[in-house]
Amino acid sequence: MRYKLLGKTGVKVSALAFGTMPFGGDVDEATARALYARCRDAGINHFDCADVYNSGRAEALLGRLTADARDELILSTKAYFPTSADPNARGASRYHLVRALEASLRRLGTDRVDLFYLHRFDDHADLEGTLRALEDLVRAGKVLYPAVSNFAAWQVARALGHAERLGFAPIVCMQPMYNLAKRQAEVELLPLAAAEQLGVFPYNPLGGGLLAWRYTEGMPDAGRIVDNKMYRTRYGDPAQLELAARFAALARELGHHPATLAVA
């Protein structure tokens, strides 16, 4: 496994991270344990989660899996999306972020997370207040590094500027949607990340399975793009399926599995 520097932090993370969104849902504990063991055998040291993944079950399962090797791993989680019917159990207010992190720490069975992502930009919360809450969580030792996901480039730039002006812990990385079928991040986000030396951890690197092998003959009977409305909207149109077939043909021509080529 190759290891890369996480932005300007000096921390080394595996070139591949493992996302745990299906844990506690489509992926049961036995399967999760097998996947985790495979990752560790391959040298992966970065595992990504979020509080909303299967109503917290993903975090709880990840916590059980990583308990014996916690200090060897980089764990990340996120907060923003609703976690209950409580109107305040969402967003990037101090009120929600503090409560969300405490709940995540309990489920993960740890005293800190290495990366804490704002899962989305909050138009209704004062950005300085959000950054101050993150700064306080960093000072308390409960968060090592703040991060952002699903932010536009201008939103990342604002957060970086405010944090620098206020002397707060900086945003160290971003998590955009990025794969060979969805390349919008190349326009502004990736150039910004390069200029500011931010780490980039793309999600959906296989396009929800589109860039693996399952969709080379059109839409199968089952699969994430078939069964999940969000993924069907994102990747299920005819143009995307045609792209998948052409990409799989190129992978065969080059002697690679499509999934391997997609993350190369």
CATH (domain of 44): 3.20.20.100
Q: Within 10 A of 98 (CB to CB), how many other CB atoms are there?
A: 16
Q: Which of 2, 5, 3 is nearest to 193 (CA)?
A: 5
Report the share of the chain in percent with pLDDT over 90: 87
Co-location of 29 and 149 in the same domain: yes
| Separation between Cα atoms, residue 208 and residue 232, nearest integer Å | 9
Co-location of 242 and 183 in the same domain: no
pLDDT of 220 > 90? The answer is: no
Higher pLDDT, residue 243 or 146: 146
Co-location of 48 and 153 in the same domain: yes
Count of structural domains within the chain: 2
Co-location of 142 and 59 in the same domain: yes
Active site residues: 53
10 Å CB burial of residue 187 (0-12, 13-18, 19+) is: exposed
> Beta strand pairing status for 12-14 and 3-5?
antiparallel
Torsion region of 92: left, alpha or beta (phi above 0 gives left; psi -120 to 50 gives alpha): alpha
The residue count for the chain? 264
Residues 53, 24: contact at Cβ < 8 Å? yes
What pLDDT sits at residue 28? 97
pLDDT of 36 > 90? The answer is: yes
What pLDDT sits at residue 224? 81
The mean-pLDDT minimum among 18-32, 67-81, 116-130, 228-242 falls in 228-242
| Separation between Cα atoms, residue 60 and residue 49, nearest integer Å | 10
Would you place residue 229 in the very low, low, confident or very high pLDDT band (cuts 50, 70, 90)?
confident
Quote the Cα angle for 30-31-37, to 5°: 95
Query: Is the CA virtual torsion 114, 63, 73, 197 positive or negative?
Result: negative
Co-location of 224 and 110 in the same domain: no
Co-location of 161 and 252 in the same domain: no
Co-location of 56 and 159 in the same domain: yes
Rg for the chain, CA atoms, rounded: 19
Average pLDDT, the chain: 95
| Separation between Cα atoms, residue 74 and residue 188, nearest integer Å | 27
What pLDDT sits at residue 215? 66
Give the N- to C-terminal CA distance of the chain in Å, as an integer.
13
Would you place residue 219 in the very low, low, confident or very high pLDDT band (cuts 50, 70, 90)?
low
Provide the whole-model pTM. 0.95
Co-location of 90 and 18 in the same domain: yes
What pLDDT sits at residue 158? 98
Would you place residue 223 in the very low, low, confident or very high pLDDT band (cuts 50, 70, 90)?
confident
Co-location of 50 and 111 in the same domain: yes
Co-location of 150 and 230 in the same domain: no
Would you place residue 227 in the very low, low, confident or very high pLDDT band (cuts 50, 70, 90)?
confident
Percent of the chain that is helix, strand, coil (3-state, to 5): 45, 15, 40
Co-location of 52 and 133 in the same domain: yes
> Could you list the residue range(s) of the whole structural domain that residue 239 is in?
206-264
pLDDT of 59 > 80? The answer is: yes
Co-location of 128 and 41 in the same domain: yes
Would you place residue 214 in the very low, low, confident or very high pLDDT band (cuts 50, 70, 90)?
confident
What pLDDT sits at residue 81? 98
Query: Which residue, of 155, 179, 205, is where some domain finishes?
Result: 205
Q: Which of 173, 246, 240 is nearest to 207 (CA)?
A: 240
What pLDDT sits at residue 228? 83
